Amino acid sequence: MSAPLIRQKGFSMVEVLMAMVLMVMIVTALSGYHRALASRFTLYNQYRQLWHHAWNQAQLSANSLPAGWQVKRVQTTQAGCVSITVTVISPLGRQGQMTRLHCPLSQ
């Protein structure tokens, strides 16, 4: 080998630039993946809240909703049973509808 190659220590400029490009690509891909995961988690959490509130509103005695939430509740009685239909609208505009039938225990 030639003398300059033996004395060389460290990485060349091309190797450093290639490593930086590779690192930027990996960090960008991971940040996009993280953003997608966070977005899906937020949507799933909103979905769970929507159905939780719909379930609570479909009970015989409903609790009040947090600020910003809307509910349309229809209650009918037929043959000793109570049918409750609720439509819950989240502050972001998502809607969920649930119908429950409450019948007394037969003796």
Token digits for 75? Answer: 């209650």
Residue 92, CA distances (Å) to 43, 50, 51, 72 in order: 11, 11, 14, 16
For the chain, the domain total comes to 1
Instruction: Report if residue 1 sits inside a domain.
Output: no
pTM of the model: 0.65
Give the tens place of pLDDT for each residue, 48-81.
999 999 999 999 888 889 899 999 999 898 888 9
Instruction: Report if residue 82 sits inside a domain.
Output: yes
The CA R_g of the chain, rounded to the nearest whole Å, is 30
Output the pLDDT for position 2: 58
Q: Which domain holds residue 18?
A: 11-102
